[in-house]
């Protein structure tokens, strides 16, 4: 019980759960026309966002969140076609398949209506389809809000201080994060998280993430940055050149959202 409560508190304190999905289809942000509108909307509606909008529709189904910018907003760094397919095909598939997978299990296992909180806490006892698709839904939802056009190219504030304290310089942090992203074999994600008040970076395989209660997930903590390393995130523009994609991604990191995640996780 203590472990379950601590994980619940951990998730609720995380701004990833406050700013995670932008909006469910009926969510608070409405239709967002561009990145600057998204930035303001996320900041103004972050409080209680997870509890009110992330979870599900009225019939308990997970929903694809609204993308907080147009498909071409991140060009030339992330191309329009990749964004469109990544969001409307790949992410939608995770949502659709998660809902299907949840129909195969006893709802009482998750305490009724499923949430990321109880799915990730009990993930070891759930079918692989729930683990994979819940991870895919959560990870992508976080990934979208951690990118923005015309963003600052480096962090500021307390996150910048923590990065400098932990890694020496921002350039050294970028180098280490890029290196671990390159070393992830096959599909997966790279993460910067807060664990017991300290910044830690690492990677996970497939659609696993640092919130999952699994021994096989080596990095634990509240996400501050998330980088999709699946080839579907970059192959249309960069083909097999992951290093090129990673270098481009640094140009669109939304450091204000990352700062919010960091401050809420401390």
27-41, 147-161, 240-254: which is most confident = 240-254
Q: Does residue 42 surpass a pLDDT of 80? A: no
**Looking at residues 53-72, what average pLDDT do you find?**
78
The string of DSSP letters for 165-226 reads HHHSSHHHHHHHHHHHHHHS-SSEEEEEEEETTEEEEEEEETT--TTS--TT----SEEEEE
For 91, residues 6+ apart whose C-beta sits below 8 A from its C-beta are 64, 136, 137, 140, 141
Span(s) in the chain for CATH 3.55.40.20:
157-265
**Averaged confidence pLDDT in the chain:** 82
Quote the CA–CA distance of 127 and 81 in Å, as a whole number: 33
CATH fold of 157-265 reads: minor pseudopilin epsh fold (3.55.40)
Q: Does residue 140 surpass a pLDDT of 80? A: yes
Span(s) in the chain for CATH 1.10.287.990:
2-71+78-145
CATH number of 2-71+78-145: 1.10.287.990
Residue 54 confidence class, pLDDT cut points 50, 70, 90 = low
Quote the CA–CA distance of 131 and 139 in Å, as a whole number: 12
**Looking at residues 77-105, what average pLDDT do you find?**
96
Asked which of 39-48, 121-130, 171-180 is least confident by mean pLDDT, the reply is: 39-48
**Looking at residues 34-53, what average pLDDT do you find?**
36
pLDDT in tens, 219-257: 999 999 999 999 999 999 999 999 999 999 999 999 988
184 vs 257: which has the higher pLDDT: 184
133 vs 3: which has the higher pLDDT: 133
Q: Does residue 89 surpass a pLDDT of 50? A: yes
Q: Does residue 80 surpass a pLDDT of 60? A: yes
Per residue in 166-177, is it b (16+ CB within 10 Å) or e — as a string?
A: ebeeeeebbeeb
Do residues 221 and 194 make contact, with C-beta atoms less than 8 angstroms apart?
yes
Can you give the pLDDT at residue 39? 41
Can you give the pLDDT at residue 151? 78
Q: Indicate the length of the chain as a whole number.
A: 266
What are the start-end ranges of the H helices in 20-156? 35-44, 49, 80-85, 92-102, 116-121, 128-145
**Looking at residues 26-31, what average pLDDT do you find?**
29
Quote the CA–CA distance of 142 and 118 in Å, as a whole number: 18
Q: Does residue 85 surpass a pLDDT of 90? A: yes
């Amino acid at each position: 019980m203590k472990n379950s409560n601590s994980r619940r508190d951990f998730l609720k304190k995380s701004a990833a759960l406050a700013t995670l999905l932008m909006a469910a289809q009926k969510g608070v942000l409405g239709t967002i026309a561009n990145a600057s509108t998204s930035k303001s909307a996320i900041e103004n509606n972050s409080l209680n966002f997870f509890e009110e909008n992330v979870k599900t529709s009225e019939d308990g189904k997970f929903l694809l969140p609204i993308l907080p910018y147009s498909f071409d907003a991140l060009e030339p760094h992330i191309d329009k076609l990749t964004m469109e397919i990544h969001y409307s095909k790949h992410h939608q598939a995770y949502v659709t398949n998660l809902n299907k997978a949840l129909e195969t299990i006893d709802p009482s296992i998750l305490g009724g209506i499923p949430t990321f909180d109880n799915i990730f806490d009990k993930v070891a006892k759930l079918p692989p389809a729930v683990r994979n698709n819940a991870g895919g839904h959560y990870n992508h939802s976080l990934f979208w809000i951690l990118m923005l056009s015309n963003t600052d190219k480096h962090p500021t504030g307390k996150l910048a201080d923590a990065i400098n304290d932990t890694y020496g310089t921002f350039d050294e942090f970028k180098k280490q994060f890029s290196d671990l992203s390159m070393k992830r074999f096959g599909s997966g994600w790279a993460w910067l998280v807060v664990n017991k008040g300290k910044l830690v970076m690492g990677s996970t395989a497939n659609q696993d993430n640092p919130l999952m209660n699994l021994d096989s997930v080596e990095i634990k903590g509240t996400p501050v940055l998330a980088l999709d390393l699946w080839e579907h995130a970059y192959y249309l523009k960069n083909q097999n050149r992951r290093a090129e994609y990673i270098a481009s991604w640094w140009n669109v990191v939304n450091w204000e959202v990352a700062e919010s995640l960091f401050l809420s996780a401390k």
